Copies of this chain bind each other. A is one copy, B any other.
Amino acid sequence: MRKIFAFGVLTSALFFTGPAFAAVSEETTYILNTFSFLVNGVLVMFMAAGFAMLESGLVRAKNTAAICLKNIALYSVAGLAYYVVGYNLMYVDVGNIMGKFALFYNPSGAELALINAEEATDGLVSAVVDSGYSTMSDWFFQMVFVATAASIVSGTLAERIKVWPFIIFVTVLSAVIYPIQASWVWGGGWLDAAGFSDFAGSTLVHSVGGWAALTGALILGARRGKYGSGGSIHPMPGANLPLATLGTFILWFGWFGFNGGSQLALGSALDASAMALVFVNTNLAAAAGVVTAMALTQAIYGKMDLSMCLNGALAGLVSITAGPDLQNPLLSIIVGGVGATLAVLVVPLLDKVKIDDVVGAIPVHLVAGIWGTLAVGIFGSGSFTTQLMGIVAVGVFVSVVSSVVWLALKYTIGIRVSEEEEEMGLDTFELGLEAYPEFGRAM
């Protein structure tokens, strides 16, 4: 019997005589907060696999090994860059505009002292516990967010960007661009002071990736043959839709960590309750996104487009990310549904203006990210104008700096593969191997 379970359980808690009400001990709070960062962080880490599969499924077979390599490389590089300078720039001694430029972010002295002590004395434990959570657990949780922002870029620019310039861009993004703007809010900088609210990063993570992708797409240009003369569009269907579906499910799975872990604590009944609410809102928004995209593509095109329904799930997730703490879950259905509607409508619009976004990262992460951030000003606790100001500030900063980096790369080492490489596929030229060497060709 499911519901009426709690009695036996609570009885054992009652032996605890002491005072009238039994709260959580400080050390337990520390452990739970830390463990929440680790468990939720691991879920977010797995989103790297989700992006890799989504993108592997939506590119053509001849570029699949290259997109796999880019995905594992970007996750790696983002983590290293964030260790070397990113975290410090984002969180340490943040002024209005950015944190400290310092190399490496290491465990706190108090924690090392406790780990190295002969005996865990009261004083040593207390010194550690005071910080609320382990420093490295927070680093880990923040690091996986950087990687997410970087993942967004690879999907848009797939099938034509060279590997190494892409890696360099990701390095700059993770070491400098992302941390600086994130310090404005999560580091306690000027935008936070202004009251801007972004729970888990519709703007700070998803739109940032989206702006970087958009500027990249403009500077890199479309895939050859995508846009014909006279406005005709030549779709280039993804080679492996089950992998794209798997990727979407993995992202959805990881998103519980993304949004839930952004409660940043688990050490009190309040935090646990809030995290549960976040999980529910996250799921409902994504579900609403799928159903909306199904209905819309059926209505507009007469057939359901699986790739757009997958985008719908992700647009729902991105939309709810800025405010997954809505107290009425019904609102999250609205937020997710509107986000998916925007994504479904923007996909063909981008093609109209010849912005070639292979996997739909711009509609999903940038457009739905903006919507989600504004939604906090509509349904949530934020102010609409402050939200708008934050969106614009981050957008301008990321677009300008990204453009500078893309242009610098373009006019030095070049960012685009040759025409022949593009035609034959990046796999053969940049990697020297094929993703599916055998299919249809058992030789």
Contacts and interface: CB of A to CB of B under 8 A. Distances in A.
A135 B279 CA distance: 12
A290 B26 contact: no
Interface size class, chain A: 35 or more
Copies in the complex: 3
A234 interface: no
A407 interface: no
Given A12-B125, A249-B48, A270-B114, A291 B77 contact: yes
A327 B104 CA distance: 13
29 contacts: A2-B142, A6-B131, A9-B270, A10-B29, A10-B132, A12-B24, A16-B24, A22-B25, A24-B31, A31-B271, A35-B36, A38-B276, A45-B283, A72-B245, A72-B313, A76-B287, A79-B284, A80-B284, A106-B328, A112-B327, A114-B270, A115-B273, A134-B273, A137-B272, A140-B280, A237-B433, A305-B433, A306-B433, A307-B433
Given A26-B14, A52-B245, A245-B68, A432 B305 contact: yes
A248 interface: yes
Interface stretch (A180-188, A342-350, A395-403): A180-188
Given A23-B16, A33-B9, A125-B269, A294 B73 contact: yes
Contact of A13 (B25, B36, B253, B288): B25
Given A107-B329, A136-B277, 13 more contacts: A6-B265, A13-B267, A20-B122, A21-B26, A31-B266, A61-B439, A64-B242, A73-B309, A83-B284, A136-B276, A167-B294, A305-B432, A440-B442
A205 B329 CA distance: 25
Given A3-B187, A283-B45, A287-B76, A107 B21 contact: no
Interface string A107-149: 1000110111001101001101101111111111011000000
Contacts of A330: 104, 106
A437 interface: yes
Interface string A14-50: 1111111111111111111111111101110110110
The 6 closest A-B pairs by CB, nearest first: A440-B440, A6-B132, A22-B25, A49-B249, A2-B186, A76-B287
Q: Which of A1, A24, A286, A431 is packed against the most chain B CB atoms within 10 Å? A: A24
A262 B277 CA distance: 20
Contact of A327 (B76, B115, B273): B115
A122 B21 contact: yes
A5 B188 CA distance: 11
A237 B434 contact: yes
A309 B69 contact: yes
Nearest to A429: B303
B21 A125 contact: yes
A239 interface: yes
B430 A13 contact: no
Contact of A279 (B41, B264, B267, B327): B41
Q: Which of A1, A291, A301 is packed against the most chain B CB atoms within 10 Å? A: A1
Contacts of A287: 75-77, 79-80
Contacts of A15: 19, 21-23, 120, 122, 125
Given A19-B16, A73-B290, A125-B270, A185 B31 contact: no
B91 A270 contact: no
A168 B18 CA distance: 55
